[in-house]
A and B are shown apart, each in its own frame.
Chain A
């Protein structure tokens, strides 16, 4: 859900390259890990395909809340696919989004890093809460809120580190502006948390094996 919604040219070429290289390294590690595990059966592939389609479909929809916001289901991807498959999914979704004109090509690397943070934190929070005697709905909801909060923090850090070309604001002003933006984003995170909670608790009832697939890949 956190997404650097700036146009190409906002970051300098140096920072565009750095975020792209870091994202490619992480995606390559995900692919290497999947191949190493030799567990990429058709079930995982089907889950990955469906998550990619669902995330792409919902990410492009501008929701008329707080003036316009997006959801991208990254925590759901993390819980269902795990951070390894999830990392590859968010990279593909970011490329497809840029291909239709939503987000700049230069920001794919930075946005992939933001989304990988969301996927990973949501996955580990969901697993970590397993022994807390919480329902799967609450676990998934809390994991979503945590994942998206860390996604927003990563987004702020990336923008502050990179700096924006051609602006005169100080980093403190940018931090203040981005904190407000992250606050608004978290309102949508609450909706996404309820949605993810319902989806996970439904899957838990009808196809609990789907939730076990992610465990085998980490």
Chain B
């Protein structure tokens, strides 16, 4: 069994993260502040109308798509997982 070099691991990962975040900030400043759909449409050259103002959600976090369907599907998945887990 080999010994894990934690210091080397953290330095390597930290440098990678800093490089990625740096590049990402540059890309963000060049492309400007916009929503995900607006960013995609702008990237491929689709000129859509202004984005519909959705709910501001909780601290800016909101659900894509229909929230009711989201809740129903998520609840079904959780119940399914519980059934499989209990049967195990």
Contacts and interface: CB of A to CB of B under 8 A. Distances in A.
Interface of A: 4-6, 10, 42-43, 45-46, 49-50, 52-53, 56-57, 60-64, 66-70, 96-97, 99-102, 131, 133-135, 137-139, 141-142, 145, 159, 164, 166-169, 173-174, 177-190, 193-194, 197
Contacts of B17: 141, 145, 190, 193-194
Contacts of A189: 20
A168 B32 CA distance: 22
A43, A68, A133, A159, most chain B CB atoms within 10 A: A68
A62 B2 contact: no
Interface in B33-51: 33-46
A218 B87 CA distance: 25
Interface of B: 2-6, 8-10, 12-13, 16-17, 20-21, 23-28, 30-31, 33-46, 57, 59-66, 69-70, 73-74, 77-78, 80-81, 84-85, 87-88
B27, B35, B43, B62, most chain A CB atoms within 10 A: B43
Nearest to A63: B61
B64 A133 contact: no
B81 A49 contact: yes
A102 B5 contact: no
Contacts of B27: 179-184, 186-187
Q: What does DSSP make chain B's interface, helix, strand, loop or mixed?
A: helix
A203 to B, nearest CB: 16
Closest 3 CB pairs of A and B: A183-B27, A187-B24, A64-B60
A164 B44 contact: yes
A61 B62 CA distance: 6
Given A131-B2, A194-B17, A138 B36 contact: no
Contacts of A138: 9-10, 12-13
Contacts of A63: 61
B36 A69 contact: yes
Contacts of A181: 27, 31, 39-40, 43
10 contacts: A70-B36, A100-B65, A102-B64, A102-B65, A138-B9, A141-B17, A183-B31, A184-B24, A184-B27, A186-B24
B25, B26, B57, B77, most chain A CB atoms within 10 A: B77
A42 B80 CA distance: 13
A206 B37 CA distance: 40
B27 to A, nearest CB: 3
A85 to B, nearest CB: 13
Given A60-B65, A64-B59, A183 B36 contact: no
A182 B28 CA distance: 10
